[in-house]
A = this chain, B = another copy of it.
Amino acid sequence: MYRQERRAQVLRQAKRLFARKGYHRTNISDIVARSGIARGTFYLYFRNKRDLFEELLERALAELKQRVRRIRMGQLEPSPLDQLRANLSRVVEFVLAERELTDIVLNHATGFDHELDSKIAGFYERIVTQIERSLELGIEMKLVRKCDKRAVAHCILGAVKEIVGQLTLKDLHHSESLVDEILSFGLQGVARPELLVDSKRDVVLSARGQATDAALARQ
């Protein structure tokens, strides 16, 4: 288990450095110096610098994957909204606990090489698909309006990524209100609800938005 401790120490230090300086500006010298091991020892634990980075990345992705669960229907399940909220809450929790890892995923894991890029892309793709499925489900359940599910899924993912990216920079603790704010935004957008309902039409914003303009203009 001693071995594992050392390894963990290296991972920990590398994580800090990658988060602060990015992959290319972090060098093995930095890592081994911080980790208190010799240069050569590094290569007993990791095949090379890239592998170490990949491992960190995969840990983050695996953890996140696990925290974003499929929305399940059923009498025994919490309401879909609660499941949604729980997902988001778990993600925010992770982000706050692992700011550096999050920073790496969001800011330093991009444009690396084909393999890693695919890994990241696959991860996000999976998330987007999950969101898409949830939207579909929502539409079936008549909770969600009709929309370009894929585009909207990306919007949701983007909103979460951005908020979460901001979180890594600030000294915040987990706040449910933030999660709710994100949820509210995703669910109802920013317009005052009253403006969105119209006796004659289901969805106000449509036909290149002219109707909406009219509705809004009526105010």
**Residues of A bordering B, CB below 8 Å:** 21-25, 79-82, 85, 107-108, 110-113, 135, 138, 141-145, 147-148, 151-152, 154-163, 165-166, 176-178, 180-197, 202-206, 208-209, 212-213, 216-217, 219
Q: Which residues of B contact A113 (CB under 8 A)?
A: 25
Could you say which of A145, A154, A165 has the most chain B C-beta atoms within 10 Å of its C-beta? A154
- Report whether A188 and B191 are in contact in the complex, using a CB–CB cutoff of 8 Å: yes
Could you say which of A82, A177, A191 has the most chain B C-beta atoms within 10 Å of its C-beta? A191
- Report whether A193 and B204 are in contact in the complex, using a CB–CB cutoff of 8 Å: yes
Q: Which residues of B contact A186 (CB under 8 A)?
A: 155, 189-190
Complex Cα distance, B56 from A141, in Å, reads: 48
Q: Which residues of B contact A181 (CB under 8 A)?
A: 147-148, 151-152
Distance (whole angstroms) from the CB of A164 to the closest CB of chain B: 9
Q: Which residues of B contact A81 (CB under 8 A)?
A: 209, 212-213, 216
Nearest residue, chain B, Cβ from A217: B79
Nearest residue, chain B, Cβ from A81: B213
Distance (whole angstroms) from the CB of A149 to the closest CB of chain B: 9
Given A158-B161, A188-B145, A194-B197, the answer on whether A112 and B219 have CB atoms closer than 8 Å is: no
Distance (whole angstroms) from the CB of A118 to the closest CB of chain B: 13
Nearest residue, chain B, Cβ from A148: B181
Given A138-B190, A143-B219, the answer on whether A163 and B159 have CB atoms closer than 8 Å is: no
Complex Cα distance, B163 from A36, in Å, reads: 43
- Report whether A147 and B190 are in contact in the complex, using a CB–CB cutoff of 8 Å: yes
- Report whether B158 and A187 are in contact in the complex, using a CB–CB cutoff of 8 Å: no
Distance (whole angstroms) from the CB of A181 to the closest CB of chain B: 5
30 pairs, CB–CB < 8 Å, chain A vs chain B = A23-B111, A81-B216, A82-B209, A108-B110, A108-B111, A141-B219, A142-B192, A143-B219, A145-B190, A145-B192, A147-B184, A148-B178, A148-B181, A151-B178, A151-B185, A155-B162, A155-B163, A156-B190, A158-B163, A176-B208, A185-B189, A186-B190, A187-B191, A187-B212, A188-B196, A188-B203, A188-B204, A188-B205, A192-B203, A193-B202
